[in-house]
């Protein structure tokens, strides 16, 4: 089975020649759920940004990022723009800054609808309302008229999810989407994400430093450290004791702090 | 709406305070303005007459209230030197100073806003680097020196434009009037652009760093499309404020530059009056120019409120 | 599962893969700024004891001469040596810059600390005064003061210093208030440190780099403002040399001797640019959050 999205020997270097990512490879099948875990600075977020060609200025990516056999790294800007949001969408860590404070939530959600699906006017508004309900926002009329800073953290991240899913992408990159949230809200958003992946069939790449969080939504697991992939495994195998020593350290540390699910829990769907 | 009224209220208070400051500085600092304005050889009678004319024989508060009452009614007093009503003197000069500063402002804004945005987007490109270097140098250049150099090169050596002065016929001969204003306008515009480009560039850089611009790009918007949709509005808040400051600067730049080009405008009038210690004229001009600055600031605040819902809505919640 | 907290992979003592490489090198703007300012200061100091010719020396009568071996900058319409005038002008600019910084610094810091570290009504009152002062253009304040006190170096210094103190006061107030809200200050307070102790031990060290930057920029602004005032004839009166007035005097004869109109301008630009760069450089050096490309 060919993968939907595969990252092949991805390297990222700064203009000064420092290597930030060194030979990162993983793949994501249609409808798959991949967790990418590692400490801060391990390059996991950078990987997600590199997939979409959104690296900070001065960084350069080499290698291949294949979406259905098309290399995104060599795609011209215009064609890449048609992939972003429509085929591959992304949710970021801090929903307050990721949303434009000067624009109502409604207009921000209808933006990609118009850009990729050509919806405008009442059709776009109706679709935005549907998306808002999809991400379990209540009182959608009021929320669509609000500005991001008038909403709670959980509401903001739901809005960000609605924007990302607006054009029914095939891949959703989630970069620490729950890290900035309160613990209770975190659980709600994880449940929602889990549910959305089930319902829409979008393939999920979930980036987090937080192994227990990854374990709730992901099935496959990539463990990263210092810009390299330490181990590619499944969540279940990792919890049962990964092959790499570093993976075992991560699991042990997480277990010591939080009481990670026992090794018998394999399917993340059970987590609810 | 309520916030707007509140802002107009604070504007009125600032105007009154500014008038107090101008009044107090001119009346109470050491040196009797009546004595100094008449100069040596003044008889006691003349001095007395002038004092009662000025009202300086009355209590300060009474003087102030009387003066403010006159100002509000449009009576700015009479010049010591020319014996003409100050209001008339000022009105005569407006057709030079107002076009000069407005044209310079518009020209500077038209150049600096696009250039600043472009320099920020291509901050590492040749244009970006050149713009920041030139503007760093430009803010260190005194406006009158720009004028002097332009006169030297374009008026005295190339003889393209008049080196100074304003046609006696005024705006009856529009071509001559415009020709005599070209160099002054360009001078003030150059000096202002150096400052404005820096602000626009740094405001745009701040916007470019913001996460929501990256979000927009992750949704498929191109670089310029994302900037137009999400960035410019955000950059507009600081840019409006610098435009406001620079509108005031253009007026003051005009005051200085009129003296370089021997233009008989408000600036020349102000300078002559300061040197002659023509108190009523200085008082009226300083208050008038300050009022323009304060009103501009208030307009800037209101404009920012219109652009940024955070200012608008949070203030109203607080009110 | 609501008890999830952040998992810390504590078992690994791995070094951060992206260590923050703090530049050991001084920022170029700091170096260039310091050199330019140092140069002007040196020339200004030398001019106090020695100039190639006396300032009122009309010499051998060569008027409006171009640069020569005897007169490196040429001579003015009275035959006075331009270079000597320029050197004395440096001294004048230096006095203006330093005196304005002192006036603005003393006034601004006092007001700022009072506003930031005392009662709320003091804060509100002082801030509205500061706001009004910021809106009041330096040039107009200078003209008011000159109208009353007459044109002099000190009229200019007072006007520039008072105007500049508004910005210093605002910067001081913001930073003082910010530092006082920091947890470590609260902790120090809880540990029994008094108000004065807090201010000297925590507030001053945190605020002075920002203030130094503002003072440098103010110094640049002061040199520019004084040049404008003396160009307009509202600065130091004739026996004292001033770049602005030199320029004004040379303007009418610049078709014959352009150097008289060019060199004073260059001197002003060099000084102001130096002070601005010095300010930027200090900011880059002391503000860890600032990226180098601004």
List pLDDT tens digits, range B157-216: 777 778 777 877 777 788 888 888 888 999 999 988 988 898 888 888 888 878 888 888
Domain CATH for A166: 3.40.50.300
- Which of A42, A212, A246 comes nearest C7 by C-beta? A212
- Which of A80-84, B110-114, C54-58 is the least confident region? C54-58
Is pTM beyond 0.95? Reply is no
Ranges in chain B annotated CATH 1.10.3720.10: 87-318
Average pLDDT over residues A53-65: 85
Tell me if C8 is assigned to some domain: no
**Segment B214-258, tens digit of pLDDT:** 888 888 888 888 888 888 888 888 888 888 888 887 888 888 899
Residue-level pLDDT at C192: 74
- Which of C2, C7, C12 comes nearest A187 by C-beta? C2
Percentage with pLDDT > 70 across chain A: 94
Tokens 């990226």 locate to C291
Tell me if C245 is assigned to some domain: yes
Torsion of CA B49, B53, B58, B61, to 10 degrees: -160
What total of structural domains would you count in chain C?
A: 1
Percentage with pLDDT > 90 across chain C: 10
Residue-level pLDDT at C17: 43
Please, are residues A227 and A61 in contact by the beta-carbon 8 Å criterion? Answer: no
pLDDT for B107 beyond 90: yes
Report the residue of chain C nearest A180, measured CA to CA. C6
Which of these, B101, B77, B84, B90, lies nearest to B264 by C-alpha position? B90
- Which of A101, A115, A164 comes nearest B221 by C-beta? A115
Residue-level pLDDT at C60: 66
Chain C CB contacts of A229 below 8 Å: none
C7 at the A interface (CB within 8 A)? yes
**CB–CB of B144 and C231 under 8 A?**
yes
**CB–CB of A253 and C9 under 8 A?**
yes
pLDDT for B314 beyond 80: no
Average pLDDT, chain A: 83
Average pLDDT over residues A72-100: 86
Please, are residues B292 and B248 in contact by the beta-carbon 8 Å criterion? Answer: yes
Tell me if A272 is assigned to some domain: no
Instruction: Decide the pairing of beta strands A70-71 and A19-28.
Output: unpaired
Residue-level pLDDT at C9: 39
ipTM: 0.82
> Nearest CA of chain A to the CA of C285: how many Å?
21
Average pLDDT over residues C105-109: 91
B315 at the A interface (CB within 8 A)? no
**CB–CB of B220 and A115 under 8 A?**
yes
For A138, the domain range is 5-263
What total of structural domains would you count in chain A?
A: 1
User: Residue B159 corresponds to which tokens in the numbers above?
Assistant: 């003889």
**CB–CB of A253 and C8 under 8 A?**
yes
pLDDT for A63 beyond 80: yes
Torsion of CA C83, C86, C87, C93, to 10 degrees: -170
pLDDT for C257 beyond 60: yes
A267 at the B interface (CB within 8 A)? no
Report the residue of chain A nearest B123, measured CA to CA. A57
pLDDT for B319 beyond 60: no
pLDDT for B36 beyond 70: no
Residue-level pLDDT at B106: 92
CATH number for domain B87-318, candidates 3.90.1150.10, 3.40.640.10, 3.40.50.9100, 1.10.3720.10: 1.10.3720.10
Q: Per-residue confidence at C107, pLDDT binned at 50, 70, 90?
A: very high
pLDDT for A42 beyond 90: no
Average pLDDT, chain C: 78
C-alpha to C-alpha distance for B109 and B115, rounded to whole angstroms: 10
- Which of A184, A210, A271 comes nearest C6 by C-beta? A210
- Which of B25, B286, B294 comes nearest C135 by C-beta? B294
The highest-confidence range among A247-256, B272-281, C202-211, by mean pLDDT, is B272-281
C-alpha to C-alpha distance for A208 and A84, rounded to whole angstroms: 21
Report the residue of chain C nearest B297, measured CA to CA. C135
Q: Which of C4, C18, C291, C292 to mutate to test the interface with A (most CBs of A within 10 A)?
A: C4
**Could you write out the three-class secondary structure of C149-213?**
HCCCHHHHHHHHHHHHHHHHHHHHHHHHHHHHHCHHHHHHHHCCCCHHHHHHHHHHHHHHHHHHH
Which of these, B40, B196, B229, B28, lies nearest to B120 by C-alpha position? B196
Beta bridge partners of A5: A28, A67
Domain CATH for C227: 1.10.3720.10
Residue-level pLDDT at C6: 38
Q: Which of A80, A111, A174 to mutate to test the interface with B (most CBs of B within 10 A)?
A: A111
Residue-level pLDDT at B57: 64
**CB–CB of A183 and C2 under 8 A?**
yes
Residue-level pLDDT at A69: 83
> Nearest CA of chain B to the CA of C25: how many Å?
21
> Nearest CA of chain C to the CA of B81: how many Å?
14
For C38, the domain range is 26-47+78-291
Residue-level pLDDT at A140: 85
């Amino acid at each position: 089975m060919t993968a939907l999205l595969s990252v092949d020997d991805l390297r990222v270097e700064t203009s000064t020649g420092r290597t930030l990512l060194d030979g990162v490879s993983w793949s994501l099948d249609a409808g798959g759920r991949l967790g990418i875990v590692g400490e801060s600075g391990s390059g996991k977020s950078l990987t997600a940004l590199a997939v979409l060609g959104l690296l900070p200025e001065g960084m350069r990516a080499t290698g291949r990022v294949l979406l259905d056999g098309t290399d995104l790294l060599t795609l011209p800007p215009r064609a890449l723009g048609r992939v972003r949001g429509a085929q591959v969408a992304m949710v970021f860590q801090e929903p307050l800054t990721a949303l434009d404070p000067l624009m109502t939530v409604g207009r921000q959600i209808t933006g990609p609808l118009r850009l990729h699906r050509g919806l405008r006017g009442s059709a776009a508004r109706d679709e935005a309302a549907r998306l808002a309900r999809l991400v379990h926002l209540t009182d959608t009329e009021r929320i669509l008229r609000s500005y991001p800073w008038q909403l709670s953290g959980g509401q903001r991240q739901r809005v960000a999810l609605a924007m990302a899913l607006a054009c029914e992408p095939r891949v959703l990159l989630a970069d620490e989407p729950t890290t900035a949230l309160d613990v209770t809200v975190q659980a709600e958003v994880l449940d929602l994400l889990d549910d959305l992946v089930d319902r829409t069939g979008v393939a999920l790449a979930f980036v987090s430093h937080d192994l227990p969080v990854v374990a709730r939504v992901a099935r496959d697991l990539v463990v990263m450290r210092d810009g390299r992939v330490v181990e590619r495994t499944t969540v279940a195998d990792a919890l049962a004791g990964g092959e790499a020593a570093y993976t075992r350290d991560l699991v042990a540390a997480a277990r010591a702090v939080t009481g990670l699910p026992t090794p018998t829990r394999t399917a993340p769907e059970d987590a609810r | 709406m309520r916030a707007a009224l509140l802002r107009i209220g604070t504007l009125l208070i600032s105007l009154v305070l500014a008038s107090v400051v101008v009044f107090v500085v001119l009346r109470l600092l050491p040196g009797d303005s009546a004595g100094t304005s008449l100069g040596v050889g003044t008889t006691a009678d003349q001095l007395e007459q002038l004092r009662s004319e000025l009202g300086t024989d009355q209590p300060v508060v009474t003087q102030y209230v009387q003066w403010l009452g006159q100002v509000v009614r449009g009576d700015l007093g009479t010049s010591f030197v020319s014996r003409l009503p100050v209001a008339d003197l000022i009105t005569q000069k407006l057709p030079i100073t107002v076009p000069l500063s407005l044209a310079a402002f518009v020209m500077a804004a038209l150049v600096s806003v696009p250039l600043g945005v472009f320099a920020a987007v291509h901050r590492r490109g040749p244009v970006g680097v050149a713009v920041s270097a030139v503007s760093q140098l430009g803010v260190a250049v005194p406006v009158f020196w720009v004028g002097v150099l332009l006169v030297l090169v374009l008026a005295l050596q190339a003889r393209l434009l008049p080196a100074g002065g304003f046609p006696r016929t005024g705006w009856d001969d529009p071509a001559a009037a415009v020709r005599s204003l070209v160099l002054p306008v360009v001078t003030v515009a150059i000096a202002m652009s150096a400052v404005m480009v820096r602000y626009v560039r740094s405001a745009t850089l701040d916007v470019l760093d913001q996460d929501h611009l990256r979000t927009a790009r992750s949704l498929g918007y191109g670089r310029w499309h994302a900037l137009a949709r999400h960035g410019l509005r955000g950059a507009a808040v600081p840019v409006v404020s610098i435009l406001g400051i620079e509108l005031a600067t253009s007026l003051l730049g005009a005051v200085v530059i009129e003296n370089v080009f021997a233009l008989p405008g408000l600036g020349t009038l102000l300078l002559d009056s300061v040197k002659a210690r023509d108190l009523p004229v200085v008082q009226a001009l300083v208050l008038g120019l300050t009022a323009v600055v304060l009103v501009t600031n208030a307009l800037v605040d209101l404009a920012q409120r219109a652009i940024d819902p955070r200012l608008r809505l949070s203030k109203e919640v607080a009110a | 599962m609501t008890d999830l907290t952040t998992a810390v992979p504590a078992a690994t003592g791995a070094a951060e893969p992206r260590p923050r490489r703090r530049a050991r090198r001084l920022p170029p703007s700091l170096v260039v700024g310091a050199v330019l300012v140092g140069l002007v200061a040196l020339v200004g100091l030398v001019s106090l004891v020695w100039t190639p010719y006396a300032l009122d020396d009309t010499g051998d009568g060569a008027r409006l001469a171009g640069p020569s071996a005897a007169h490196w900058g040429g001579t003015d319409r009275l035959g006075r040596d331009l270079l000597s005038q320029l050197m004395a002008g440096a001294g004048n600019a230096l006095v203006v810059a330093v005196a304005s910084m002192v006036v603005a610094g003393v006034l601004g810091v006092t007001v700022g600390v009072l506003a930031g570290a005392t009662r709320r009504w003091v804060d509100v009152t002082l801030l509205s005064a500061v706001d009004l002062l910021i809106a009041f253009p330096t040039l107009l304040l200078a003209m008011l003061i000159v109208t009353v006190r007459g044109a002099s170096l000190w009229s200019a210094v007072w006007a520039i210093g008072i105007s500049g103190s508004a910005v210093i006061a605002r910067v001081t107030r913001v930073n003082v208030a910010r530092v006082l809200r920091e947890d470590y200050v609260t902790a120090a307070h809880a540990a029994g440190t008094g108000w004065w102790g807090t201010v000297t031990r925590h507030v001053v060290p945190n605020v002075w780099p920002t203030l130094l930057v503002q003072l440098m920029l103010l110094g640049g602004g002061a040199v520019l403002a004084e040049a404008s005032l003396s160009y307009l004839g509202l600065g130091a009166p004739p026996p004292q040399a001033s770049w602005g007035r030199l320029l004004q005097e040379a303007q009418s004869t610049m078709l014959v001797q352009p150097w008289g109109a060019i060199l004073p301008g260059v001197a002003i630009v060099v000084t102001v640019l130096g002070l601005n760069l010095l300010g930027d450089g200090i900011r880059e050096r002391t503000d860890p959050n600032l990226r180098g490309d601004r």
